[in-house]
Copies of this chain bind each other. A is one copy, B any other.
Amino acid sequence: MGEFELIRRYFAAAACAQAAPGVALGIGDDCALLEVPAGEQLAISTDTMVAGVHFPDPSDPFLLAQRALAAAASDLAAMGATPLGFTLALTLPAAEPAWLASFARGLDCKARECGLALIGGDTTRGPLCITLSVFGRVPAGLALRRDGARPGDLVCVGGPLGDAAGALALVLGQRQAPAEIASPLLARYWSPRPQLSLGVALRGRASAALDVSDGLLADCGHIAAASGVALCIERDRVPLSAPLRRLLDAPAALACALGGGDDYVLAFTLPPRFLAALQAEWPLRVIGRVEAGSGVHLLDDAGREVEPPAGGYQHFGSPRD
């Protein structure tokens, strides 16, 4: 038995330890088998992260696994899907037990947090590269798509933006900060928490949704294009976390929030009648409105359109590139 066969058994053991409702057959056969209840659809997303492109190489394997799975699971949140399972395609230069043990622990932690069971995959030798496919279920017709935004809807986000982009200089060792600032930002970068419960709560309410991974303005542009509407974002209503505001000056923090990816916060459009009930449970922020037209428009506090701030963050991390 080769070392890579041993790795497969290692992950298989980890997978068996997880409760896995909906998983009829897990690792070990030619295919895994998932159950999808009648009246529901299966949601599927695939994300790849390449060493040196989407994360620094080397990176801590525990953190890396958490970040890769969180990024993939966030696509389930963006569709309003209930997590079922995931497959791991892991390509790595050598089978180092300590690295693998740490990677598997990180994967297991995030998988439990997200309610995702490891159901299969492949382990191969080559340059470090991680492809995760995630599977969830959603009642037919209730998936949160990008094409339903209508004029009059509110534009909302599920929490503060820009933390991951702001953290990047810390991740790369280009900047130092006291622990009370650096720690929460680094946690947002390395272990984003996919907003899975919020996604489920938005079913039947949000008219369009996605997770912010390319940057708020770019992602709002995807909704505008798919829905055939304009999204108007009020610059001063974009939420910034306290640590980000302490790390960076106001223009730089705003640039991170508007252009940085990797926060994996949900952005969505919402008919106003649903706002009160959702805000009672979730720390949503209304940041703008949907209008007739096209594109994304950034407005100042007087309602005048302004240019997005330039720069302010480095792009090294979105699995979409």
Contact = CB atoms under 8 A, between A and B. Distances in A.
Contact of A319 (B38, B41, B43, B122): B122
A interface: dominant SS = strand
A242 interface: no
B320 A122 contact: yes
Contact of A45 (B30, B45, B124, B138): B30
Interface in A174-214: 209-211
Contacts of A104: none
A98 interface: no
Contacts of A44: 31-34, 87, 119-120, 133, 135
Contacts of A87: 44, 46, 133
A97 interface: no
Interface in A282-311: none
Size bracket of the A interface: 35 or more
A36 interface: yes
Contact of A53 (B50, B124, B211): B124
A124 B48 contact: yes
A205 to B, nearest CB: 17
Contacts of A129: 91, 126-127, 129
Interface in A116-139: 119-122, 124-127, 129, 131, 133, 135-136, 138
11 contacts: A29-B146, A31-B45, A31-B81, A32-B44, A34-B42, A35-B41, A36-B41, A46-B89, A51-B126, A54-B124, A91-B129
